[in-house]
Amino acid sequence: MSITNSNKQIDVTQIDCEGTLKVTLALAAAPDISSNPTDIVLVLDRSGSMAGSPLANMKTGAKTFIDIIDEATDSSQDGTIGSGSRIGIVSFADTAVADTQLITSVAVLKTAVDALAAGGSTNHADAFAKAVQLFDPASSNAKVIVMFTDGKTTAGIPPAPVAAAARASGIIIYCIGLIGADGIDVNVLNDWATDPDAFHVAVTPDDAELEDLFADLAANISKPGATNIVIDEIVNPDFNIISVIPPNRGTAMMLDSNTLQWKISELGVSGNEGASLEFFIRHIGQNGGTKLVNQSIAYSDTEGNAVTFPEPSVRVDCGITVTPEPCPVPVELTVRGCQDSLVIDLGDACLESQGRIVQLDVTVKNVCPNRRVALAVILTEVDCNGTEHQRGLKTITIPAHQYPGCRDVQVKCIKFVLPEDLNVSCGIPGMMCSDRNLKARVIAHTIDTDFRCCDSVIVV
């Protein structure tokens, strides 16, 4: 697995009914080579045509290659190729020489590279043969040859059969070509290298570009932990996404109030790399309780990594809500397209539902635990002369709660039905739908107390 960690966490464990919280998504990946040890042989051309800047730039490129592999294997340039991988150096001119075996010491590898001197002809077949000999057939490590050359074969047997035998044994061959004084046949490099050519062959006429070619090749060999990452997050419908902070890697955008998408082109390129995204959500539901933050979260990448995220939940405290009177059950009906009339039986309607309806909500403050509360709502109507007329009294017992401290209790949907009273309503006398001026008074008192009566005893 190239994904080393996936996490999702929230900054609080409890919020109020309309409260907000921060959600953090985190992902980490390491190069593929860190979990798949690889033996690599750098095969470097030191023929006479490499004299001067080509040799100098090749050495710089080879040492850059070694540094990138060093960091990719254990997430740091600590001087040691880690995670079971190794690098060896073979150089060639008239013949090939194993300048090192497969080792992990970066210093020794760089010393071998720095010691190379140009001179002689070009024997590619011997170079391939010496490189193959460095590999241990019993090792389970992946096997890679990186061939660098600046010219055509001028010594030794034809190299193509030797390269083909190496590929047949499971060795992956990359070729870097410099179009030097002797010229170079790109078709020959394509023939030596593992298919596809576009991925395993790179050629340049400018030796100043060699460092970049070696660096790109090292990145290809180490392979990023994940590429083309897409994370689709859908939050619980009881929440809305209110803001998204730009992530430290990739881009993120809201698709709607409940959905965001996070894209990362690559992660875990040169070492263990982390990415994080923070966004804020607000609770919009009507009820409290323990709720999952996300409805779903989907992950995908080119490498097919299987990634799961934790499913954090938050306690939503909407206080205590009492609904003394349920709303009437609705009758559903549909008027079809181009239908001019509709006849439907709505059933029976009780007389108490005739007239205007006033629906009130009230919050009773600081209700202590284990105490029932008597609540009364008195409704009056004021006529045009300022005289009040009784319109109703509702008394409700609010159940006791068991929270550890005193709480606010919201009482919802206290309904009064007000028939039209044409003698009281202000406006044109005798007209329906005039303005009506009302007053509501609320009385609340604790029913249960700790008070206990006791008899008084007086002794003289």
Q: What is the pLDDT of residue 454?
A: 65
- Please tell me whether residues 202 and 244 are part of one structural domain: no
Chain mean pLDDT for the chain = 89
Domain boundary among 222, 242, 274: 222
Q: What is the pLDDT of residue 460?
A: 59
- Please tell me whether residues 192 and 165 are part of one structural domain: yes
- Please tell me whether residues 108 and 169 are part of one structural domain: yes
Angle, alpha carbons 116-119-125 (nearest 5°): 85
Tokens of 2: 């190239």
Domain boundary among 201, 222, 243: 222
Domain that holds residue 313: 3-31+225-318
- Please tell me whether residues 283 and 409 are part of one structural domain: no
- Please tell me whether residues 291 and 328 are part of one structural domain: no
CATH number (domain holding residue 104): 3.40.50.410
Q: What is the pLDDT of residue 433?
A: 67
**Per residue in 268-285, pLDDT tens?**
887 788 999 999 999 999
CB within 8 Å of 241: residues ≥ 6 apart? 235, 254, 257, 258, 259, 260, 279, 280, 281
Q: What is the identity of the amino acid at 141?
A: N
**Number of compact structural domains in the chain:** 3
- Please tell me whether residues 370 and 404 are part of one structural domain: yes
Residue 429 lies in a domain: yes
Domain boundary among 296, 318, 340: 318
Identify the three-state secondary structure at position 196. coil
Residue 84 lies in a domain: yes
Ramachandran quadrant class, 228 (left: phi over 0; alpha: psi -120 to 50; beta: rest): left
Residue 300 lies in a domain: yes
Which ranges of the chain have pLDDT less than 50? 1, 353
Q: What is the pLDDT of residue 353?
A: 46
- Please tell me whether residues 18 and 43 are part of one structural domain: no
- Please tell me whether residues 181 and 252 are part of one structural domain: no
Tokens of 92: 């060639």
CATH number (domain holding residue 231): 2.60.40.680
